[in-house]
Amino acid sequence: MLNQKEMNSITQVDEFAEILAAARRMQQDWLEYGVNYVHLYVEDADGDWLETWDDDEILNHSLLDTIKEFLVSNDDIAVKIRYRLRDRPLFDLAVDLEECVRISREDQKILAISDILARYLHICDLDLLDLANSLLDKLLSFSQNIF
């Protein structure tokens, strides 16, 4: 048991050392190349990414933004989700929920949301279905206001 903890600590230290080395390389490249260092790290630095920034579906998606705003709100359902979510990222949950809302069949939406909540919140009980139904009602009201 102790050896396993030591191995986990060594692995974490190794991962941190790699991340730190990459950050140092990036800083050194910045010092060496100036703002042109970006060409080393960004594939299309000279492209039209700035002009097409609004075209990016995930950045300019009002339903996703609304879901994210809901998840950080003081709504009882959002608070319950955040409490059980623990260390999982809210953004990932919001993206998955947004995909569920876009499912065309209503019966499939609730199953997809239940599955996502079970995966993210690690719960499998009757409260899950109630939570999924309540969340679906909220999400559908958001999507109707947007579309």
Write out pLDDT tens, residues 97-125: 988 888 888 888 888 988 888 888 877 66
DSSP 3-state percent helix, strand, coil across the chain (nearest 5): 75, 0, 25
CB 26 within 8 A of CB 37: yes
Query: Looking at the predicted structure, is the pLDDT value of residue 58 above 60?
Result: no
Report d(CA 88, CA 26) in Å as an integer: 28
pLDDT band at 52 (very low <50, low <70, confident <90, very high): low
Task: Determine if the pTM surpasses 0.85.
Answer: no
Which residue, 121, 115, 112, is CA-closest to 140? 112
Which residue, 125, 126, 117, 119, is CA-closest to 80? 117
